[in-house]
Structure 1
Amino acid sequence: MLSFDHDSLHAGVVDPEMGSMRVLSETALRFPDSLSFSSGAPYDGNHDLADLSRHVERYIEHLRAKGLPEERVTRLLFQYGPVNGLIRDEVALMLKQDEDIDVPPEAVMITHGFQEAALVALRGLITSADDVLLSVSPAYVGIRGAARMLDVPVHGILEGPDGLDPEAVAEAARRVRSEGRRAVALYLVPDFSNPSGTVVPLAARRRLLEVAAEEDLVILEDNPYGLFAAEGAALPTLKSLDTDRRVVYLGSFAKSTFPGARLGYLVADQEVIDSEGSTRTLAESLSPAKAMFTVGSSTLSQAVVGGILVENGYDLRSATRELAAIYQERLRAALDALSEHFPDGGDHGVTWNTPSGGFFLVLKVPFVADLAAMERSARDHGVSWAPMSMFHLDDDGGRREIRIGFSNLAPDAIREGIARLAGFIEKTPHDTPEERS
């Protein structure tokens, strides 16, 4: 009978780090009474089953209004759809309305969430074993996982309190080049980064674009949280500032509209010129990768999201103002509760950052905060969280830090969860100064 040695399988499958998010999910299932700060799930109190059919009907009406015959509408929804997506026109209108990103529909690819967009982008851009992806560190585990699955080496760049420093990016690109390799692309989340909640300032955004041109980098800008800035506080995306077409923009509808649709998008308006001199967008040229990964994204999911976009005049920023206020309220609840349980001047050894939005904040604690500690916290104190070490691209980063995800807990649950967390921290032996150094 055929069997396999576990270590003989691909590193993307057997590496324990690739299963870290699964471990968090399983811990939540094992301790169902535990309050969970471990996920970044979006708020789900605004969903209504009746909306599903209404959104699909709205999109069907939209197609009919465009003059499509009934047979064509039926085929679009029931058959395999275009590889690059059915709702590219609508997404292009949304990008112009919400982000001042002016690209043709041909520059848009509809994907199965951010994850497929990242896989497609990396598969197209990384062409040699000597090519390297630069990435902010700590980083969303999905980009590291995508790179690992494709055997793409990643060079982490430690972020500061204001996110990624452009000069550190330039230095990293030069260091990679000095090793005989080529830094091809840079991944970051400029707005409310997962896991740290940092925001890259406007001046640094402009400088990042300059560095990308100087070092010949493509920027992979991941922006799942940008719509949720406080009123009047939104910064322009890198893509909207990009005059040199250095940015490939990666977006998702999971946080803004409908997580279960599993839809995202890749925006790549760079020109690709073939041997005969014909020109296509990079998004179109990446179609073979999309086709091999998933053939095409669900047309039914696209119809739901398309109906939402049409119904809201392609203006998700306005449509998500109430949702943004919910996340802002939850952020304030988390920060207020932390201040109450860990007051200034105490000997608790706990500090935290103060994001201006997003889904996460980072707590520094006086002990090693690993998965074993998280399990004790869930089992004995009824609260779970995510070790920050899971998100760092070096071996020692984030060992005494935890990520607090507050997006899917009501304010009362957040306050109770922070109280339970304070009890866990109080009962956990603190490291000595020598151990922390």
Structure 2
Amino acid sequence: MTPQTLPSSRALALDELHGSLSDPVLDAMNFLNEVVGRFPQAISFAPGRPTEGDFEPEDLARHLHTYTSHLEETLGWSRDRVRTQLFQYGRTGGIIHELIARTVANDEGIEVPPEAVVVTTGCQEAMLLILRALFAAPEDTLLVSSPCYVGITGVARLLGIRVRAVPEGPAGPDPEAVSAAVRAAREAGERPRAFYVVPDFANPSGTSMSLPDRERLLRVAQEEDLLVLEDDPYGFFVRTGSARPTLKALDAGRRVVHLGSFAKTALPGARVGYVIADQEVIGPGGRRSLLADELSKIKSMTTVNTSAVSQAVIGGLLIESGCRLREANAGAIAYYRTNMDTLLGELERHFPAERRAELGISWNRPDGGFFTVVTVPFAADHKALELSARTYGVLWTPMSDFHLDGGGTHQLRLSCSAQSPEAIIEGMARLAAFITAQSPGTAA
């Protein structure tokens, strides 16, 4: 049969595929990627990608050599054992778990056994593993700080997990609001299992929790028998003040599952993340294990194991830093501080107090991280983004994409991480022209 005579295949009906494929969250991310691709000359404040800094291709070979030298010279491994470590599948829970445990102890004061660390293919897999493990029944509910990073809500949608939003305030989630959400969920016949939060410089809002709120959240978790899923990609990048302790560092009751990634602090292309899950699990007959052991079982059916080569590259980088990534990130910390200062300064320059009051414009001033949120007097939707890209040559992200409750319709997220200060200045001039033109009472 020739290609011309092949019978046409039956088209698949979207409503016969998984419902998540029609979810606005997935559509929003695809739309944003598509817009970025169509307007490559636009200055983009849309993606939260890290700076490439001083990365050079030859660094990868050096990191790899550092790791293999560590195995041979420090640990006394034979050449054959090193070869197997790099060329074969390897331990499901990861091969650099000991280095990660040492690093989080040095950087964050998180003291856990290496066996509590599962190395994942990016933090996104860590989210998938922990949600699949914890949410077993239809009534199980995930609480999320809203607005919320779409990666966690997207995974919940793929797994068919119920999500309940906890509205975020100017200083992040209010622990009392978390407690109220737990009670409301139970009154609705749900079983709240965990609360997802980015306590430092959150994506997308840029907010950070105070130390008293962190301590109170842990007390709420204890009182309500709730786990806290702490996602901490931005904690190093302080702009003002000093770094606050992670929830996991404060966690005396093993209530916190800590999700980490080397995407922002080391090398995004390696796609290496991790989850710290030191909670005890009791099985039939009293068998005891760590939650990390159970997550490894799930991982064996997703990615089997995280790339040994990628882990070796990250492992070498950790060894070179003395397992102290915070110190190794001093240059990046200063870079992001300068970028955020520049972005906020340009907003102030283009919209001084009298002008922003006249137009109805405001923004928050994060203590660090990558993101700030601007409130505008018009609908900051996908149509507005398209106009901004085509006519003004500047990209941003609609905040409505991050809300579960229909909020954020007049807000846009700006990321300052991937641009130089010079590009930020030019981009903010374009953005100011766009915002001014769209604001009621100004000429279009």
**In the alignment, what sits opposite 1:409?**
419
**In the alignment, what sits opposite 2:183?**
174
Residue in structure 2 matching 1:360, options 356, 371, 385: 371
2:53–2:332 Cα contact (<8 Å) kept:
no
**In the alignment, what sits opposite 1:131?**
140
The 2-side partners of 1:117 and 1:181 are apart by 24
What displacement does 1:430 show?
Answer: 2.7
Indicate whether 1:58 and 2:40 are aligned.
no
Indicate whether 1:15 and 2:23 are aligned.
yes
**In the alignment, what sits opposite 2:395?**
384
The 2-side partners of 1:7 and 1:35 are apart by 37
**In the alignment, what sits opposite 1:37?**
45
- Kindly report the root-mean-square deviation, in angstroms, between the aligned alpha carbons of the 2 structures: 1.2
Indicate whether 1:249 and 2:239 are aligned.
no
Deviations 1:393-415 (A, max 9, x none): 112x0000000011000011111
2:247–2:256 Cα contact (<8 Å) kept:
yes
Structure 1 pair 345–429 and aligned structure 2 pair: CA distance change class (3 A): closer
Indicate whether 1:98 and 2:98 are aligned.
no
Deviations 1:375-409 (A, max 9, x none): 100000000100000001112x0000000011000
What displacement does 1:231 show?
Answer: 7.6
Equivalent AA in structure 1 for residue 194 of structure 2: A
Residue in structure 2 matching 1:342, options 329, 351, 374: 351
2:398–2:412 Cα contact (<8 Å) kept:
yes
The 1-side partners of 2:309 and 2:229 are apart by 28
Residue in structure 2 matching 1:157, options 160, 163, 166: 166
What displacement does 1:232 show?
Answer: 6.0
**In the alignment, what sits opposite 1:285?**
294
Residue in structure 1 matching 2:428, options 401, 411, 418: 418
Equivalent AA in structure 1 for residue 298 of structure 2: A
What displacement does 1:34 show?
Answer: 0.5
The 1-side partners of 2:36 and 2:403 are apart by 22
Equivalent AA in structure 2 for residue 341 of structure 1: H
Equivalent AA in structure 1 for residue 375 of structure 2: K
**In the alignment, what sits opposite 1:141?**
150
Deviations 1:346-381 (A, max 9, x none): 112210000010000000000000011001000000
**In the alignment, what sits opposite 2:6?**
none
Name the SS for the 1:426 alignment partner. Answer: helix
1:367–1:431 Cα contact (<8 Å) kept:
no
What displacement does 1:12 show?
Answer: 1.7
Structure 1 pair 185–390 and aligned structure 2 pair: CA distance change class (3 A): same
- Runs (4 or more) in structure 1 with deviation over 3 Å come to none
1:157–1:172 Cα contact (<8 Å) kept:
yes
What displacement does 1:54 show?
Answer: 0.3
TM-score between both structures, scaled by the size of structure 2: 0.95
Name the SS for the 2:48 alignment partner. Answer: coil
Name the SS for the 1:241 alignment partner. Answer: coil
The 2-side partners of 1:285 and 1:179 are apart by 30
Structure 1 pair 231–61 and aligned structure 2 pair: CA distance change class (3 A): farther
**In the alignment, what sits opposite 1:328?**
337
Indicate whether 1:5 and 2:13 are aligned.
yes
The 2-side partners of 1:13 and 1:302 are apart by 32
The 1-side partners of 2:332 and 2:370 are apart by 12
Residue in structure 2 matching 1:317, options 326, 334, 341: 326
Indicate whether 1:398 and 2:394 are aligned.
no
TM-score between both structures, scaled by the size of structure 1: 0.97
What displacement does 1:151 show?
Answer: 0.4
2:200–2:235 Cα contact (<8 Å) kept:
yes
